[in-house]
């Protein structure tokens, strides 16, 4: 009977990265250096060796990267994924018999001990490894074995470092050979295998711009996908990477909302794009006022010519006129009187929207239909989706759908629009959403921003949660923007774009649109959700050039593509905030921002020089990429004064 007792002595614990004990996948970007850490130990003082084992999509064999001991039984190693998809990784650790023997040999020589038997043991260890060595190297090791087994020049005498029997096994080439080709008898391998989702670069770093195609018409006309092409040059010229479109599908007429959420729409009211579905189709149809599916394909090609990708909204809900209402009434929630229940978020009511019932008996049919929507648009070339309110849909569905979609199309990016409880937002990221909306909009003080960014960048959230800082949305106009004027829009732009690798703005931001529907509300007056809103983007006071400058800075400095390299610096006034991002071999970026949009602020900045790669007595220059001014500083402290009506922020490149 086969014994169930484990051989070997090595324990491997606390492996990182690992999300919820391996229940979910950690995340990385193609080309990242993925650092793997673990506690590795055994009984006794023997020398250990360990390696990170990893393999990419469709790889049959494991590759390896040696781990090194850091301190206190903590080990680290790394690998660099070169393809997108799901990677597997783990750790193998073993007792390095030859390194242990070699270490002890040195100690015995230094103690002038006689060790004829110990040398024979060393010869046996080397002999045990001959088969594991490349044939071209065996001769060298056999010579070392012969030296170890040679008789002592003087019987019973202590050995010395000049003894030929000692010099052979202490040769560094021999040590490296045996270390590289160790037999690994009794090794321990982590189980189960851990997994890592590797995405393309745009999954972490990108600038998003949201606009409604229906608002691109001329002289009050309803815009189309054809007129929307005219906006692409403007958006691309400002340095954006992704154009996000709200739903482009037919809009229902039953309970259609009028301007400013009125329940009494007029014949010209266009309805809310999220009330999806009508006589012209559902989630795979294009609103006839916007054009045809061929027009959409053309729009996608025109975006690609300008270096832009298109993100579509994926909203799992229907208008009362959606084809599913008659074809699959079992997919909806019904009231006691048999009527279908419309969506609510008390006190808000969405009479024009029917939510989906994920507890339907036809779960399989519903899930496959929903995945089919994504398949349809992927088939037309869309690989980025902004998902509306995923926290109100079944989490098991998302885990299945995302896992399946990513297995078939690893290039797909899914942005979770979930403004909800922290654990739910984290859970959505864990089950596979590529990026997540955040609480950034409601973090406006230095203390709030510092605490929140520290959580995102310096806790285990960094392993699986990739934030996207939208400065505004069609649903959210924060009080800070309502009252802070043009300086507030510049401040929040700098913070969103430089703190987070991914950020976004909704059209109208560059015009500083700031009027709420009523005091205390975060809804826009004359919200574009309910009407066509045509704009003059060249109007006086626009931020077009400012947005362009910030996006150019983002693209020019690779340190801004990351989050975990974020460091905060001390400023002795609460309304001045300073932070930097650095990487080895790259120019550091240091930002100092006045968070007070109403008044100038001054204070003393105390830099973390080590984070910037500077010595305490270095003289260095900082060049402001906004004002184009250069200052010479020395040491950790510098005086800063920022007037928000002139420029509310310094964005320095640090010149060593």
Tokens of residue 498, six digits: 């430089």
Cβ neighbours for 136, distance < 8 A, ≥ 6 positions apart: none
Residues 533 and 617 in one domain: no
328 occurs within a structural domain: no
Active site residue 632: no
Give the pLDDT of residue 644: 98
Residues 522 and 381 in one domain: yes
Cβ neighbours for 150, distance < 8 A, ≥ 6 positions apart: 164, 165
Give the pLDDT of residue 484: 98
Which residue shows structure tokens 């806790």?
A: 459
How would you class 260 by CB atoms within 10 Å of its CB: exposed for 0-12, middle for 13-18, buried for 19 or more? middle
d(CA 88, CA 407): 14
CATH number at residue 616: 2.60.40.1180
How many independent structural domains does the chain possess? Answer: 4
Average pLDDT score over residue span 418-436 = 98
Domain interval for residue 150: 98-180
DSSP label of 228:
H
Instruction: Say which of 417, 510, 561, 601 is annotated catalytic.
Output: 417
Residues 144 and 287 in one domain: no
Instruction: Say which of 309, 388, 510, 647 is annotated catalytic.
Output: 388
pLDDT surpasses 80 at 157: no
Give the pLDDT of residue 115: 79
pLDDT digits over 441-489, tens only?
A: 999 999 999 999 999 999 999 999 999 999 999 999 999 999 999 999 9
Residues 549 and 523 in one domain: yes
185 occurs within a structural domain: no
Give the pLDDT of residue 346: 86
pLDDT digits over 515-558, tens only?
A: 999 999 999 999 999 999 999 999 999 999 999 999 999 999 99
Q: Of 509, 538, 558, which residue sits at a domain end?
A: 558
CATH number at residue 20: 2.60.40.10
pLDDT digits over 186-207, tens only?
A: 999 999 999 999 999 999 999 9
d(CA 401, CA 417): 17
349 occurs within a structural domain: no
Residues 250/285, Cβ–Cβ less than 8 Å: yes
16 occurs within a structural domain: yes
Active site residue 388: yes
Residues 284 and 225 in one domain: yes
CATH number at residue 294: 3.20.20.80
Residues 637 and 543 in one domain: no
Residues 159 and 304 in one domain: no
The answer to pTM > 0.85 is yes
166 occurs within a structural domain: yes
Residues 521 and 414 in one domain: yes
Q: Of 511, 531, 558, which residue sits at a domain end?
A: 558
Give the pLDDT of residue 480: 98
Residues 402 and 442 in one domain: yes
Residues 553 and 620 in one domain: no
Q: Which residue has the higher pLDDT, 159 or 393?
A: 393
353 occurs within a structural domain: no
> What percentage of the chain reaches a pLDDT higher than 70?
98
pLDDT digits over 256-284, tens only?
A: 999 999 999 999 999 999 999 999 999 99
Phi, psi for residue 136 in degrees, rounded to 5: -70, -15
194 occurs within a structural domain: no
Average pLDDT score over residue span 371-395 = 98
Residues 498 and 646 in one domain: no
341 occurs within a structural domain: no
Q: Of 45, 78, 95, which residue sits at a domain end?
A: 95
Residues 256 and 304 in one domain: yes
Banded model confidence at residue 4, pLDDT cuts 50, 70, 90: low
């Amino acid at each position: 009977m086969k014994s169930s007792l484990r051989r070997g002595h090595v324990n491997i614990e606390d492996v990182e990265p690992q999300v919820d004990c391996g229940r979910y996948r950690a995340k990385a970007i193609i080309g990242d250096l993925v650092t793997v850490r673990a506690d590795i130990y055994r009984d006794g003082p023997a020398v250990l060796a360990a390696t990170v084992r990893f393999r990419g999509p469709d790889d049959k064999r494991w590759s390896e990267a040696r781990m090194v001991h850091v301190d206190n039984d903590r080990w680290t190693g790394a690998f660099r994924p070169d393809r997108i998809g799901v990677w597997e990784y783990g750790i193998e650790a073993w007792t390095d018999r030859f390194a242990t023997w070699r270490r002890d040999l040195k100690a015995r020589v230094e103690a002038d001990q006689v060790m004829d038997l110990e040398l024979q043991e060393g010869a046996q260890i080397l002999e045990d490894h001959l088969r594991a060595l490349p044939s071209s190297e065996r001769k060298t090791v056999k010579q070392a074995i012969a030296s170890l087994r040679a008789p002592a020049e003087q019987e019973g005498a202590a050995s010395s470092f000049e003894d030929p029997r000692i010099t052979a096994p202490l040769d560094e080439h021999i040590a490296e050979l045996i270390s590289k080709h160790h037999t690994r008898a009794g090794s321990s391998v982590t189980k189960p295998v851990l997994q890592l989702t590797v995405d393309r670069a745009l999954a972490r770093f990108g600038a998003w711009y949201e606009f409604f195609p229906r608002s691109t018409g001329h002289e009050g006309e309803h815009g189309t996908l054809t007129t929307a092409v005219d906006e692409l040059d403007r958006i691309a010229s400002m340095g954006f990477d992704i154009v996000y479109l709200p739903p482009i599908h037919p809009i229902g007429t039953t309970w259609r909302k009028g301007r400013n959420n009125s329940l009494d729409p007029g014949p010209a009211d266009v309805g809310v794009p999220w009330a999806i579905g009508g006589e012209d189709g559902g989630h795979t149809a294009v609103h006839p006022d916007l054009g045809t599916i061929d027009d959409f394909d053309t729009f996608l090609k025109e975006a690609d010519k300008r270096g832009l990708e298109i993100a579509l909204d994926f909203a799992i809900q229907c208008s009362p006129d959606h084809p599913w209402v008659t074809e699959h009434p079992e997919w909806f929630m019904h009231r006691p009187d048999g009527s279908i229940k419309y969506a609510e978020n008390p006190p808000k009511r969405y009479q024009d929207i029917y939510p989906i019932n994920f507890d339907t008996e036809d779960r399989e049919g519903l899930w496959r239909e929903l995945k089919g929507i994504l398949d349809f648009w992927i088939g037309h070339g869309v690989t980025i989706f902004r998902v509306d309110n995923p926290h109100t849909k079944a989490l098991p569905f998302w885990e299945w759908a995302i896992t399946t979609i990513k297995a078939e199309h690893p290039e797909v990016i899914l942005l979770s629009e979930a403004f909800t409880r922290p654990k739910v937002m984290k859970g959505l990221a864990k089950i596979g959403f590529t990026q997540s909306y955040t609480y950034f909009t409601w973090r406006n003080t230095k203390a709030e921003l510092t605490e929140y960014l520290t959580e995102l960048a310096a806790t285990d959230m960094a392993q699986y949660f990739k934030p996207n800082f939208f400065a505004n949305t069609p649903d959210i106009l924060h009080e800070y923007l309502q009252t802070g004027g043009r300086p507030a829009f510049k401040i929040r732009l700098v913070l969103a774009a430089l703190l987070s690798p991914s950020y976004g703005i909704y059209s109208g931001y560059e015009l500083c649109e700031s009027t709420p529907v009523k005091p205390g509300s975060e809804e826009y007056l004359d919200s574009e959700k309910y009407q066509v809103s045509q704009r003059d983007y060249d109007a006086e006071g626009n931020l077009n050039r400012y947005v362009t400058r910030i996006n150019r800075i983002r693209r020019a400095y690779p340190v801004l593509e990351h989050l975990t390299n974020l460091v905060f610096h001390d400023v002795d006034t609460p309304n001045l905030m300073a932070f930097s991002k650095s990487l080895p071999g790259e120019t550091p970026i240091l930002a100092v921002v006045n968070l007070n949009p109403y008044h100038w602020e001054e204070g003393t900045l105390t830099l973390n020089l080590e984070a910037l790669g500077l010595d305490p007595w270095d003289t260095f220059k900082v060049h402001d990429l906004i004002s184009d001014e250069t200052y010479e500083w020395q040491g950790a402290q510098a005086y800063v004064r920022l007037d928000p009506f002139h420029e509310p922020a310094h964005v320095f490149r640090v010149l060593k």
